[in-house]
Amino acid sequence: MDRVTVFDTTLRDGEQAAGGSLNIQEKLGIARQLEKLGVDIIEAGFPASSPGDSEAVSLITQEVRKPVICALARAHPDDIDRAWEAVEKAEHPRIHVFLSASDVHLVYQLKKSRDEILQMSHEMVARAKRYTDDVEFSPMDASRAEPAYIYQILEAVITAGATTVNIPDTVGYATPSEFGNFIEGIIRNVPNIGRAVVSVHCHNDLGLAVANSLEAVRRGARQVECTINGIGERAGNASLEEIVMAITTRSDFFNLTTNIDTTQIYKTSRLVSELTGFSIQPNKAIVGANAFRHESGIHQDGVIKMPITYEIIDPRTVGIPASSLVLGKLSGRHAFKERLAELGYSLNEADFNRVFRAFKELAEKKKEVADRDIESLVAEEQRTISEVYHLDRIQVSCGDRGIPTASVVLIDTDSQALADAALGAGPVDAAFKAIDKIVKVSNTLTEFSIKSITEGIDAIGEVLVRIESENITYTGRGADTDIIVASAKAYVNALNRLLTAKKVTS
Ligand code: KIV
Ligand code: ZN
């Protein structure tokens, strides 16, 4: 069977999603997990877009050695030089050059002729080729361009040294058979196409990104560009987990394989959701909370008798733990460690001790501690690493009489305890105002949401907040059985991200 290479762009196109910005350590964490997942190529960022992006790409090249590490560049000499500076230390570096190719972009945005674009594409690929052998080129908005012109561009960039030619459906306009015909046309009509891998990059504006990508591989494309949970610009990109599981589950139809370790899918999906703050819709294929839940009596009856009656994928194949054991306050270190390992976590001694302590505190309040609770505890502990301010304690008084009041104590990086209090319209407002009096960084709260991690009145509540400062959005999360505490943790988490980002920029 032929193998399709998986090019993950969660850290580049995925991070372009509105409100989804990640800090350097978070990007590194995701890159490490993508390596475990077995992706062939990680597009780690767009170095010319910001110093932070450049720093993140170069950090990833040093820490993640197995996959190809790719940096994006516009067809400008400076961008290409910056991309190379960021990836040069990689074990396997790649530069990805892109330039618009549709008339609508040429006329209204770039104000350049087709000939000029053709020449720039050739020259900039040749420039990248002087740095590395592994060069990818994308004619942006290819699906809305004239096919004959795309054939011409592809021939030119392959002559200049491109080893991968990527066909983007930039605005998610294509339909499967049309896009498949286009890919087949490229393979038939570009004379030197045999010297390059044909790749596809589909957006999801019409909900067709996965269908278009699958049709393209059926017609000869051998690289797919995709993101975890399908995150990305506007409606997102093709979802990695859906493409991979379609190819795996229907290998009888596609007759193709990938290098992906599917048992890492669930963990990767949770990590990306946690760090970007984008929740996964319950009915999302493969990784949604309901993807393997059977509600109707007829379905449940079938699954009990024989899972394949209504389950086309064994949940364990994608790494969803088949947990029967529920932990409680009598569970010891050993059982907890085993559960963590089953969930895919390997923590160092200090981190383990902190999470175990949090587990014991939770088990005192909650009779049964489920896997989702444990995942939330680990995430909460990881959030408190390298904080600028740590929420030490919070107290509120509220109700339908009197004025909601909050007092908070934060600990700063010099271990100083800083206390203040405030009144507010409600307890969360009062808590945030008290925190503001200490942190003193102006921002606007743009989103506040709360959800319970599991069923039951004693469940952990998880709060997500987004704040905006100087047109940049920062996401914070916090979890606790007390929703006011969870809210304060989430707000402090968002402020910590804002302060850290400002420190990096300055
Ligand atoms: O959607 C797009 O066209 C892109 C290119 C940079 C490949 O993201
Ligand atoms: Zn894109």
Which ligand is nearest the CA of 174, by number? 1
> Can you name the residues that pair with 407 across neighbouring β-strands?
395, 421
Q: What is the pLDDT of residue 296?
A: 83
Element (H, E) at 95: strand 93-100
β-bridge mates for residue 226, sequence order: 8
C-beta of 168 in contact with ligand 1 (< 6 A) = yes
Q: What is the largest distance, in Å, between two alpha-carbon atoms of the chain?
A: 79
Sign of CA dihedral 105, 109, 110, 113: positive
Closest CA to 167 of 153, 49, 177: 153
Q: How far apart are CA 198 and CA 2, in angstroms?
A: 13
Our answer on whether the CB atom of 170 is closer than 6 Å to any ligand 1 atom is yes
Which residue's CA is the closest to the ligand 1 atom numbered 5? 140
How crowded is the C-beta side of 15, counted as CA atoms within 13 Å?
Answer: 24
* Least distant ligand from the CA of 170: 1
For residue 166, which atom of ligand 1 is closest to its CA? 7
Query: Which of 13, 16, 96 to mutate for ligand 1's pocket (most ligand atoms within 8 Å of CB)?
Result: 13
End-to-end CA distance of the chain: 51
* pLDDT for the residue 344: 78
Q: Report yes or no: 132 and 91 within 8 Å, Cβ to Cβ.
A: no
Q: Using CA positions, which residue lies closest to atom 3 of ligand 1?
A: 170
Report DSSP state, residue 203. B
Ligand 1 atom at shortest distance from the alpha carbon of 9: 8
Q: Is the Cβ atom of 96 under 6 angstroms away from ligand 1?
A: no
- Dihedral over alpha carbons 189, 192, 195, 201 (to 10 degrees): -40
The contacts of residue 40 (CB under 8 Å, 6+ apart) are 5, 6, 7, 67, 68, 223, 259
Answer for the pair 183, 198: CB distance below 8 angstroms, yes or no.
yes
Tokens of 90: 């990689």
| Length, in residues, of the chain | 506
Q: Is the CB of 201 under 6 A from ligand 1?
A: yes
User: Rounded to an integer, what distance in angstroms lies between the CA atom of residue 368 and that of residue 377?
Assistant: 14
How does pLDDT run along the chain (506 residues), one tens digit per residue?
Answer: 899 999 999 999 999 887 777 888 889 999 999 999 999 999 999 999 999 899 999 999 999 999 999 999 999 999 999 999 999 999 999 999 999 999 999 999 999 999 999 999 999 999 999 999 999 999 999 999 999 999 999 999 999 999 999 999 999 999 999 999 999 999 999 999 999 999 999 999 999 999 999 999 999 999 999 999 999 999 999 999 999 999 999 999 999 999 999 999 999 999 999 888 898 999 999 999 889 888 788 888 888 888 899 999 999 999 987 655 678 888 899 989 988 888 878 888 999 999 999 999 999 988 889 888 898 898 888 777 779 999 999 999 999 888 999 999 999 999 999 999 999 999 999 999 999 999 999 999 999 999 888 878 888 999 999 999 988 888 899 999 999 999 999 999 999 989 988 776 66
Strand pairing partners for 202? 169
Ordered DSSP codes for 423-478: E-SSHHHHHHHHHHHHH----EEEEEEEEESSSSTTPPEEEEEEEEETTEEEEEEE
